[in-house]
Structure 1
Amino acid sequence: MRLACIALLGGLLCLPVLPVIPSWPWLLLAGLAGLGLLRTLLYPLGWMLLGFTWACLSAGQALEQRLAPELDGRTLWLEGRVAGLPQQREGIWRFELQDVQARRAQLPARLRVAWHAGPAVQAGEYWRLAVKLKRPRGQLNPQGFDYEAWLLAQRLGATGTVKHGYRLQAAQGASQWRDQLRQHLLSLEQGPALAALLVGDGAALSAMQWQVLQATGTQHLMVISGQHISLLAGLLYGLVAGLQRLGCWPARWPWLPAACLLALSGALAYGWLAGFAVPVQRACLMLALVLLWRWRFRHLRIWTPWLLALCLVLLFEPLASLRPGFWLSFAAVAILLLCFSARLGARSWLASLGWAQWAIALGLLPLLLVLGLPVSLSGPLANLLAVPWVSLLVLPLALLGCLLLPLGELGEGLLWLAGWGLQLLFTGLQWLAEQQAAHAFAALPWPVLLATGLAALLWLLPAGVPLRWPGLLLWLPLLSWTPARPPVAEARVWLLDVGQGLSVLVQTHQHDLLYDSGPRSVSFDSGAQQVLPSLRALGVRKLERFIISHADNDHAGGAAAVLQGVPVLQLVSGEPRRLRLMRQAEACTWQTWQWDGVHFSQWQWAQARDGNQASCVLRIEAAGEVLLLSGDIDARAEQAWLAGPQAGVVDWLLAPHHGSRTSSSALFLAHARPRHVLFTRGWNNTFGHPHEEVVQRYLMQGVQAWDTARQGALLIALGRREPARGLREQQRFWREK
């Protein structure tokens, strides 16, 4: 049975690395072959083929539920019910719609929409809305968040912006009650943290609070997960077991079935309160199997319920493997099982808690590196203090206060105590975060990851296992590895995918320069969520120069996050007075310099009359190959550039002003004679960039076009005269072409 489960998992877990979904004839053939092999000695291969077939069929069905390409960008009237808890921040409501219907088109069953300055929206309401629809598409950067994979794992077939709407039916039932409870919790002191802890709504937590949680590796405490579900179940189980030990349990009632049933009932009730999100469903399923094992099947090894839970979760939702939380939760449970099952001797509860935190920190390290997530160096200490604080004090008080809210002051008082406990928790975590922030490793090659995984596994095995101490040598590749840098006289240029904005990283043999930082909006900061993770993935530890071409939001919006996240030795801008940053920028003046055999020069039009014309223009030359980063200059600034010291032929041209009609003049292109043009823009952006006339102008001159909206982040090896490479060349079945 165990071998069959492992083989089935091998097929179900294929989705994260699958480039395309095979066509149905191949899947039919694989399924029939799997069934045929089940009664042979090759039955593990049969189970693997069946798992692969089921995973591909489920993923293919989710892809078919996506918005049709011909509806991308169109505004349609539709009807649907609000699913989950709507989130409101700075005047923007974000929520999901389920059971979506439209008269004029076939739409996905589930959508995620945003409503700017819209009315209050409650869970469970039924609305008729005019929505500008958009196919699932996200920015793609080195080791960045894959929004398209997240949407597919949620089975959200489209996103959209609400233009108008009216309520057809008010909320009622459990959804309305949960939303009202959430609103009541948000009105309390430390309400956002209480709402995250009780009803699974972490959207109200501030960005600063999330940064503190990430820096200390305690995000799981504010997200309803297996830990919270297991804790409540353990308390209820322990209550029955304690009464039985004290002789207070009725002898005619078997205590073990009652304890298991009460624990599962409490977990399901908590899961219902939290909205039964996918992680909660996963935790309840695993808990149910563990309790069943404890009740009737203790003769089997504890790994059996873990394997069964893993198989059942993936059979129910194969797309769960696209979410990092799936891997982290099951891996954490496996690490605890490895460390505490079949061990000789007993530890005190304090020693067990400390060892558990150390084991999870060590065991999850290789997985965090694979997933490209930051590693909290203060995590073991923070969790050693925070886990019992939340588990034994804050969460019981919060749940009891929630249960006793109908009694008025008693429930309110307990919630106040829980909020006070959370306030103390965040104070302590913030102090720890200031002492030691989370460390983000650069993207590591597979040999280094494999050595790190083996080293962690050896140290998690019992003390008497041979090779534990020699296994310390396996940590050396991680500690000594440094990212490869471009050779002397060459530059590596990353044109990051920040939507309707611009951010370019230039790396030489020993230096790093950033040109612009992308936009910032109410709900999204390119600097924090795209640029900084990319810099860390590419091994950037400091920026010798950070050039902000001008002060418009699409170029400077993410600058504050970049300045806060990485040391910057020199800050330059075409509009230093308009920037409101934590430090003053230098003015962009004519200047040339050389780094590692690569020549740089920056220029600004002295007679500029607006921010676009005042853009700081950067020219980079490596081994005779030239790249021009032009900011948002218009046709008049282009003419001034032609008369300046930088003028000349270029090989790579960043299309001025994202391909706006007011730029890329014929005179400018005739003199610059670029071989490649780079467009940075958002997909289906409201500005219509790049303009069709501009695109045709480039095509008529035989210029090859590259587009971040279509190809993701672009990598240029300047000095080698090679074509650019887009990250969308790394095929995954969920990515739009």
Structure 2
Amino acid sequence: MRTAMIALALGLLVPIFLPALPPLWLIVTMAMAALLMLPFRTYPASFFLLGLAWACVGAQLALDDRLPTALDGETRWVEGSVVGLPQYSEGMVRFELADAHSRRTRLPALMRLAWYGGPAVKSGEKWRLAVKLKRPVGLLNPHGFDYEAWLLSRGIGATGTVKEGVRVHPAQGAWRDGVRQALEKVDAQGRSGALMALVLGDGAGLSREDWQVLQDTGTVHLLVISGQHIGLFAGLVYLLVAVAARYGVWPARLPWLPWACALAFAAALGYGLLAGFEVPVRRACAMIGLVLLWRWRYRQAEPWWAWLLALIGVLMFDPLASLRPGFWLSFVAVAILMFTFGGRLGPWRWWQTWTRAQWLIALGLCPLLLILGLPVSLSGPLVNLVAVPWISLLVLPPALLGTALLPVPGVGESLLWVAGGLLDLLFKGLGLVAGRVSAWTPAAVPLWALYIAALGAVLLLLPKGLPLRILGWPMLMLIVFPPREDVPHGRAEIWHLDVGQGLAILVRTHRHALLYDAGPRFGEADAGERVVVPTLRKLGVGRLDLMLLSHADADHAGGAQAVRNGLATARVISGDPDALPADLLAGPCDSGERWEWDGVRFELWRWASAVESNQKSCVLLIEADGERLLLTGDIDAHAERAMLDGPLGVPMHWLAAPHHGSRSSSSMALLTRLKPHAVLISRGRNNAFGHPHPWVMQRYKRLGMTIHDSAEQGAIRLQLGAFEPARTEAGNRRYWREPPPAGPPLRY
């Protein structure tokens, strides 16, 4: 039976690796075949097919609940109820709307909305809203966060922006929101946001600086409700009942063991509901329930059996849970502890157990973190030696008890004041460590190397003295010194990043790197910090020889300061340097300047008669082995005509669409003179500017150009000098991503 359960778990996990889901008839066939095979006792094969069919059905139902394509970008009046805990930031509230309906329109069961400048929104309220609806898509960049998968895993079928709205009914049954409001009013020595994260699993009250400190020190798991918190609370309840029974305080007519198990499980469920019942909490509650049940019936638990059944239970209840990084981190961390502490010949002392647990978890999770695209904390193993007991033993008890006793005047507030002070001391200490040792974000490692490193980590987790254990170190070192493929001499690697409504293009030669524009920044949304810097680091770019900001508009230069802070930059130039912040120390774009890096030729141009920022855009020509790419910024038709009279008015192979395909650019004179084979368009989906304009798209198509659109295809990669077609991130198929639109083949 255990083999059958393993097969069931594997079947539930398989869809995450599929480029597309099987058709419905094949899913039904798999389920029927599995049922027909059961009488022949082929349990592993039957259970595997049943798990695969169940997971595929759950994934397909979630895909079918997405916003119809016809409604993408439209504004509709919808009515629904606010669920979860709304998140507030500067001038904006973000919340989820459930059971939304609109006249004569089918809407997803759950939508994630943003309301800029809107009123306070509370959980449990019913609203009627005018929403600009969007399909659940995100930016697609190499080794970047997959926002589309995250939305699907949470059952969110649409996103949107609220234009206006009216409250239809006040909040009903929103007890978690009531607890949050009560915690917000408490004097927690400036750490009410951290308390809400610890008690409710609501991290919206933590600042970006707080999150960065937690990430650098590997302590995010302490402020995001995890199995550790749930297990500790359940264990405390069990221990209290056991101690009471041992010393005769427990009522003799009540058998202490069943009551201890039942109350401990009730405590775990109660804390889990308070925290929102996310995947780590579900896993913890399932495992705790199984362990307690086994303890009650057989007096001795089997951890691996409980772990396997908890894994299956979570996936049966939520087949899309495997799309979330927390699912893998949660189950793998528990598996590492069971693997390393089980089967030992002799016990360790308590201090050995504690210190080795931290190091072994860090060692075992390192390859997984890199596979998931997450940074690795170098200080985490040491910091957690103090931080874990600090939170678990000193902060969590008064935080939970204080929350429960808030109705008692003075008692709850005092306990929360103490918990807040302890949290403040912890954050100050974590800040000192984070200021000296930041998280490690290595360059992307090939998948085969990651698998070898993961096997090396497993070998190192084995007890000392076992054969082949020593081979784990060189295998694990593949993630520190990965094999890299350098750009050949005479060629240029171009990454046209997906930054939404803006522009950022990385140009790499054999030994140099250039960034053309740094992505947009609008309010707190800084693409330079969130997209450009992490992507460049993953691509192995440790410094920039040149950051060229075409002009000073926020969609091109908004992320420049974040890039400069995150990466060493030798030089910054711009077509409009006077309009940029003085901290950037940007020099002017000297029209006619030429240079060569590793056999690749570069040339600048700027219209001397430009009067406004778009016209001042610094244009860059890149030529590698006779193949040319022209980066044009936001020049308009007047600047285009002036450019055609200069040395850049020659045929091109690739053209970055001027001004995102605006009607004022991409004139017929430019296109007929340059004769590009393909055009690169950088834009945001359903942007407010209408880019690219339909007239411009008609010109591109009429002239037979291949169109690459970042909103449809994600990041685009070229090998300039190889005369090869472009590769797009959307081409890396996953079943939850829409296939990129088919286009004509690129010919030379």
TM-score if structure 1 supplies the norm length? 0.97
Residues 124 and 175 in structure 1, CA contact (< 8 A), matched pair in contact too: no
Instruction: Give the match for residue 675 of structure 1.
Output: 677
Residues 718 and 727 in structure 2, CA contact (< 8 A), matched pair in contact too: yes
Residues 127 and 169 in structure 1, CA contact (< 8 A), matched pair in contact too: yes
Instruction: Give the match for residue 151 of structure 1.
Output: 151
Superposed, which structure 2 residues align to 1:167-186 within 5 Å?
167-173=167-173, 174-184=175-185
| In 2, Cα distance between equivalents of 1:468 and 1:78 | 60
- Give the SS at the match of 2:141: coil
Q: Deviations over 1:480-535 (max 9, x none)?
A: 32421111001110101111111111111111111112112335321122212211
Instruction: Give the match for residue 16 of structure 2.
Output: 16
| In 2, Cα distance between equivalents of 1:731 and 1:296 | 48
| In 2, Cα distance between equivalents of 1:472 and 1:635 | 60
Instruction: Give the match for residue 387 of structure 1.
Output: 388
| In 1, Cα distance between equivalents of 2:438 and 2:389 | 22
Residue 533 (structure 1) aligned with residue 534 (structure 2)? yes
Instruction: Give the match for residue 477 of structure 1.
Output: 478
Residues 186 and 192 in structure 1, CA contact (< 8 A), matched pair in contact too: no
Residues 442 and 483 in structure 1, CA contact (< 8 A), matched pair in contact too: no
- Give the SS at the match of 2:494: strand
| In 1, Cα distance between equivalents of 2:110 and 2:721 | 48
Instruction: Give the match for residue 743 of structure 2.
Output: none
Structure 1 range deviating more: 673-682 or 242-251? 242-251
Residues 187 and 413 in structure 2, CA contact (< 8 A), matched pair in contact too: no
- Give the SS at the match of 1:155: coil
Q: Deviations over 1:347-394 (max 9, x none)?
A: 333322211111110010111121111111111111111111111111
Instruction: Give the match for residue 232 of structure 1.
Output: 233
Residues 291 and 301 in structure 2, CA contact (< 8 A), matched pair in contact too: no
Instruction: Give the match for residue 556 of structure 2.
Output: 555
Q: Using the TM superposition, give the Cα deviation of residue 185 of structure 1 relative to its aligned residue in structure 2, in angstroms.
A: 5.1
Superposed, which structure 2 residues align to 1:82-481 within 5 Å?
82-173=82-173, 174-184=175-185, 189-246=190-247, 248-298=249-299, 301-481=302-482
- Give the SS at the match of 1:406: coil
- Give the SS at the match of 1:14: helix
| In 2, Cα distance between equivalents of 1:388 and 1:179 | 25
| In 2, Cα distance between equivalents of 1:25 and 1:164 | 44
Residue 706 (structure 1) aligned with residue 708 (structure 2)? yes
Residues 145 and 373 in structure 2, CA contact (< 8 A), matched pair in contact too: no
Residue 654 (structure 1) aligned with residue 633 (structure 2)? no
Instruction: Give the match for residue 7 of structure 1.
Output: 7
Q: Deviations over 1:7-52 (max 9, x none)?
A: 0111110122111111111111111111222233532111111111
Structure 1 range deviating more: 30-39 or 317-326? 30-39
Q: Using the TM superposition, give the Cα deviation of residue 263 of structure 1 relative to its aligned residue in structure 2, in angstroms.
A: 1.7
Instruction: Give the match for residue 522 of structure 2.
Output: 521
Residues 12 and 51 in structure 1, CA contact (< 8 A), matched pair in contact too: yes
Residues 497 and 716 in structure 2, CA contact (< 8 A), matched pair in contact too: yes
Paired letter, 1:661: R
- Aligned to 2:734, which of 713, 723, 732? 732
Q: CA RMSD in A?
A: 1.8
- Give the SS at the match of 1:45: helix
Distance change (3 Å), C-alpha of 1:280 and 1:523: farther
Instruction: Give the match for residue 742 of structure 2.
Output: none
- Aligned to 2:696, which of 688, 694, 697? 694
Residues 494 and 716 in structure 1, CA contact (< 8 A), matched pair in contact too: yes
| In 2, Cα distance between equivalents of 1:129 and 1:520 | 27
| In 2, Cα distance between equivalents of 1:297 and 1:329 | 27
Instruction: Give the match for residue 644 of structure 2.
Output: 642
| In 2, Cα distance between equivalents of 1:68 and 1:212 | 40
Residues 217 and 378 in structure 1, CA contact (< 8 A), matched pair in contact too: yes
| In 1, Cα distance between equivalents of 2:512 and 2:685 | 32
Paired letter, 1:534: T
| In 1, Cα distance between equivalents of 2:274 and 2:399 | 12
Q: Using the TM superposition, give the Cα deviation of residue 278 of structure 1 relative to its aligned residue in structure 2, in angstroms.
A: 3.8
Q: Deviations over 1:162-206 (max 9, x none)?
A: 112111111123255234335435986211111111111112211
Q: Deviations over 1:275-329 (max 9, x none)?
A: 3234323322222122222322455631000000000110111100111110000
Paired letter, 1:712: G
| In 2, Cα distance between equivalents of 1:246 and 1:623 | 85
Instruction: Give the match for residue 745 of structure 2.
Output: none
Paired letter, 1:658: H
| In 2, Cα distance between equivalents of 1:259 and 1:523 | 48
- Give the SS at the match of 1:506: strand
| In 2, Cα distance between equivalents of 1:523 and 1:708 | 22
Distance change (3 Å), C-alpha of 1:167 and 1:182: farther
Structure 1 range deviating more: 577-586 or 538-547? 577-586
| In 1, Cα distance between equivalents of 2:140 and 2:657 | 20
| In 2, Cα distance between equivalents of 1:149 and 1:497 | 17
Q: Using the TM superposition, give the Cα deviation of residue 260 of structure 1 relative to its aligned residue in structure 2, in angstroms.
A: 1.9
| In 1, Cα distance between equivalents of 2:56 and 2:583 | 50
Q: Using the TM superposition, give the Cα deviation of residue 257 of structure 1 relative to its aligned residue in structure 2, in angstroms.
A: 2.3
Distance change (3 Å), C-alpha of 1:525 and 1:317: same
Instruction: Give the match for residue 56 of structure 1.
Output: 56
Distance change (3 Å), C-alpha of 1:352 and 1:284: same
| In 2, Cα distance between equivalents of 1:489 and 1:297 | 71
Q: Using the TM superposition, give the Cα deviation of residue 247 of structure 1 relative to its aligned residue in structure 2, in angstroms.
A: 5.0
Q: Deviations over 1:376-431 (max 9, x none)?
A: 11111111111111111111121121122122222212211111111111111111
Residues 198 and 396 in structure 2, CA contact (< 8 A), matched pair in contact too: yes
Instruction: Give the match for residue 599 of structure 2.
Output: 597
| In 1, Cα distance between equivalents of 2:102 and 2:679 | 41
Report the number of matched residues. 737
- Aligned to 1:663, which of 657, 662, 665? 665
Distance change (3 Å), C-alpha of 1:664 and 1:470: closer
Residues 180 and 196 in structure 2, CA contact (< 8 A), matched pair in contact too: no
Mind listing any 5+ residue stretches in structure 2 that lack a counterpart?
A: 740-748
Residues 188 and 418 in structure 2, CA contact (< 8 A), matched pair in contact too: no
Residues 151 and 157 in structure 1, CA contact (< 8 A), matched pair in contact too: yes
Paired letter, 1:394: V
Distance change (3 Å), C-alpha of 1:171 and 1:278: farther
Structure 1 range deviating more: 472-481 or 91-100? 472-481
- Give the SS at the match of 2:469: coil
Q: Using the TM superposition, give the Cα deviation of residue 241 of structure 1 relative to its aligned residue in structure 2, in angstroms.
A: 3.0
Paired letter, 2:141: N
Residue 609 (structure 1) aligned with residue 611 (structure 2)? yes
| In 1, Cα distance between equivalents of 2:177 and 2:541 | 48
| In 2, Cα distance between equivalents of 1:81 and 1:221 | 31
Q: Using the TM superposition, give the Cα deviation of residue 697 of structure 1 relative to its aligned residue in structure 2, in angstroms.
A: 1.5
TM-score if structure 2 supplies the norm length? 0.95
Paired letter, 2:429: G
Residues 139 and 498 in structure 2, CA contact (< 8 A), matched pair in contact too: yes
- Give the SS at the match of 2:610: coil
Structure 1 range deviating more: 684-693 or 34-43? 34-43
| In 2, Cα distance between equivalents of 1:480 and 1:90 | 41
| In 2, Cα distance between equivalents of 1:366 and 1:635 | 51
Q: Using the TM superposition, give the Cα deviation of residue 581 of structure 1 relative to its aligned residue in structure 2, in angstroms.
A: 6.5
| In 1, Cα distance between equivalents of 2:235 and 2:614 | 62
Q: Deviations over 1:106-154 (max 9, x none)?
A: 1111111111111111010011111111111111000111111111111
- Give the SS at the match of 1:577: helix
Q: Using the TM superposition, give the Cα deviation of residue 158 of structure 1 relative to its aligned residue in structure 2, in angstroms.
A: 0.6
